[in-house]
Structure 1
């Protein structure tokens, strides 16, 4: 009799424990599909537009350190300019400091027909430059096709690649 009572108590105890056990909750996570090719990423575009404006302002202010800070220099950084061989981070920084450090007056500093294409944490910016710069008594007009490849970093959108080539004048 004691054995039956003990066995019955064990079974009842087991039933109580299993029935008191909290049932696992199933949480459904709705997956948001991101279309890197077609989604607009309008917030990122606004951030990049603000970055471009800050880059222009740093040039106008002659603030070379600020200008350089918009680059994410690393071994992966590249630049193409005027059909010459590829430059890296060091050469790009030296060129930026040399050119923009020599500007004595900015007559015009426009980026026209700018297109910003965002692909998540990477963005491609294409534009036509219309820069009229003075270097002492000498002046230069720079009408280039320019591509800037941006990467979203902890410090904001930063340039990881530049490409500059002369813009052919189109007869209208």
Structure 2
């Protein structure tokens, strides 16, 4: 009789423990993240540091480092100068050709930069003020630029670029 009672108590205890675990799981309520309004400050700082590294790689003429900030693959896209969309291979060829030909970075500033993070994706918008020398020729690049980043196992990497002319305000007469 005692063994029957012991077995019965063990069964009841096992059921109670199982029930408690199920109840604990049922009680966990996750609050959905507000992707539109949550600023994700740690991610914003990480993206800002990535942008600083990108800018420094151009100033240093380190093309391999510059290219390493891109996540080239079948989803990579680029728009520039109103031309048809480019892929990663075209983007890399262009960046190596242009930045590889720079003989002096006179000025390489970004203005009005905004970093909007949506969990593992970040949209960075800015106005460029680049003054680059190619031999004796000076090129001034004032654009609206958008870089779309994805948080990968290698850090924040560019998966889309969009460049368009930034119209300058007309001078007062």
Provide TM-score, normalisation by structure 2: 0.89
The whole-number CA distance in structure 2 between the counterparts of 1:68 and 1:126 is: 19
Structure 2 SS opposite 1:23: helix
- The equivalent residue for 2:44 is 45
Rg larger for: 1
Structure 1 unaligned regions, length at least 5: 1-7
The whole-number CA distance in structure 2 between the counterparts of 1:17 and 1:157 is: 53
The whole-number CA distance in structure 1 between the counterparts of 2:65 and 2:138 is: 24
The whole-number CA distance in structure 2 between the counterparts of 1:17 and 1:98 is: 75
The whole-number CA distance in structure 2 between the counterparts of 1:51 and 1:102 is: 23
Alignment of 1:135-154 (within 5 A): 135-154=134-153
The whole-number CA distance in structure 1 between the counterparts of 2:13 and 2:91 is: 68
Aligned CA distance change for structure 1 residues 29 and 107 (closer, same or farther; 3 Å): same
Cα displacement (A) at 1:19: 4.0
- The equivalent residue for 1:91 is 90
Cα displacement (A) at 1:170: 1.9
Structure 2 SS opposite 1:100: helix
Moved more, 23-32 or 67-76: 23-32
Q: Deviations over 1:111-138 (max 9, x none)?
A: 0000111111001000000000000011
Cα displacement (A) at 1:31: 1.0
Provide TM-score, normalisation by structure 1: 0.90
- The equivalent residue for 1:16 is 9
